[in-house]
Structure 1
């Protein structure tokens, strides 16, 4: 599931990107309408989160031009600070599938995205799996062969990063970025300790000892032979 985020405010853009990635979505992001159209022409997206107030080419014009492009047509959820019925109706008339007035709660955004994807038979991913390993995107649940791993929040975030990498190596820096706040950056040994604890919990429920592999000098990855 791939989403294009079109938002000129870098703080909001980065927050949306982090939020959607946490929900299991692959994202690209940009801050201008013309750049958005270039990305939409070059790649295939399932959904566009499109800010109405963009510099240069605004969201309405982007949506109108998109609907006339001979490319894969993604769903469009327009994000608008204008709580005006006329503006929002105009967005729908230009080809948007739904709109959401800013500011909004993450839970409402998720509900709107789920509703759009459900109508288009593209359900939002609720968990990640790797063989018998399953991890929910609620920040809490993780099981192996239906046995609860009882992970801490940090362990859950680290395992989520490994699952999202799909067998590719996650560097220690990437793992730190996924599990720690910018003001609370740990050392390499802390990452190793957390991964060691995850391995121990996996081993306790019968997981293969090499389910999480060490890539020496780089980081960690999930073993493809157990996918």
Structure 2
């Protein structure tokens, strides 16, 4: 099993190597978030062990960008000294699969790594996941969730959301959305506005902070709930 360790504490890294390598795990390690994303753009791993408190780019941001920009479904086990519910919620909302609080048992770490790998191998190896913050879209099964809550979309809603998520956080021009939905056979009426209204009712109305934004005269933008326009 190939594991990437993203951790800036050399003592923790040395302990992980000393414990896991003799058991047959193949390990790589980096000490900051930017190096991690650069490596993950080129290499694939079975599990990622990710520290939250990293220099430059936090583990939360690394995980979020791993899901939204690299579209990776690799299981992520977060390591952190913070153990409040809010901290755990932030990690899971960013796309983490499991959470282990420091100081931790190396035996427990191995058990969790193996469990994540089994789950990914059996259920998600072929999944094609788009993710923007707490929003996840499995384009193989057309399952969409926000904060773990399933969202029921129309066929056109799926098409619009897929385009917005694929381009997020970039602004998507109106013409691009119409092309995505109807191709060259675009309706004469303002049907797109109707479909976007219906999408908002499902995507944003049940939640405190909207993700779908209209930029008048320019287009539409899907952003993470904590991002400003």
Q: So what's the TM-score if we normalise by structure 1?
A: 0.51
CA distance in 2, matches of 1:57, 1:70: 16
Could you list the structure 1 runs, at least 4 aligned residues long, displaced by more than 2 angstroms after superposition. 69-73
Look up the match of 2:79: 79
CA distance in 1, matches of 2:93, 2:72: 19
Look up the match of 1:94: 94
CA distance in 2, matches of 1:37, 1:64: 11
Look up the match of 2:32: 32
1:55-111 alpha-carbon deviations (Å, 9 max, x no partner): 110100000000023455311000010011110111011000001001011111111
Partner-residue secondary structure (3-state), 1:54: coil
5+ residue gaps in structure 2?
Answer: 123-229
Q: So what's the TM-score if we normalise by structure 2?
A: 0.51
Give how far 1:121 is off: 2.5
Partner-residue secondary structure (3-state), 1:43: coil
CA distance in 2, matches of 1:26, 1:111: 16
Partner-residue secondary structure (3-state), 2:68: coil
5+ residue gaps in structure 1?
Answer: 123-227
CA distance in 2, matches of 1:42, 1:30: 14
Q: Is the CA contact (8 Å cut-off) linking 1:45 and 1:72 kept in structure 2?
A: no
Alignment of 1:83-162 (within 5 A): 83-121=83-121
Q: Indicate whether 1:52 and 2:52 are aligned.
A: yes
Q: Is the CA contact (8 Å cut-off) linking 2:37 and 2:66 kept in structure 1?
A: yes
Partner-residue secondary structure (3-state), 1:77: strand
Please provide the CA RMSD for this pair.
1.4
